[in-house]
Amino acid sequence: MQSLGMKFDQENVMRQCDQLANVLGGYGYDLCSLDSGWSVGAEGDEYGRIIYDSSIFNIPQLA
């Protein structure tokens, strides 16, 4: 995304998912997922739990 001049953040993810829904929703596609770039660090928190980067995303709002 950065290489395309787009910031990987909640606003752009929502925009992309809305566009996918507009184009592909009629064909049964109803999910848009984040593969990577949404979590803090590679190891998670001090207990090893993977947590989302709240400075970039509000995952509960995206769900």
pLDDT given for residue 44 in this prediction: 85
Count of C-beta atoms within a 10 Å radius of residue 8: 14
Q: Please say whether the dihedral angle defined by the alpha carbons of residues 14, 39, 30 and 63, taken in this order, is positive or negative.
A: negative
34-59 residue pLDDT tens: 888 899 888 888 899 999 999 999 99
Are 32 and 21 in contact by the 8 Å Cβ rule? The answer is yes
The mean predicted confidence, pLDDT, of the chain is 88
Its pTM stands at: 0.72
13: amino acid identity, one letter: V
Residue 2 has pLDDT above 80, yes or no: no
- Average pLDDT rounded to a whole number, residues 27-32: 92
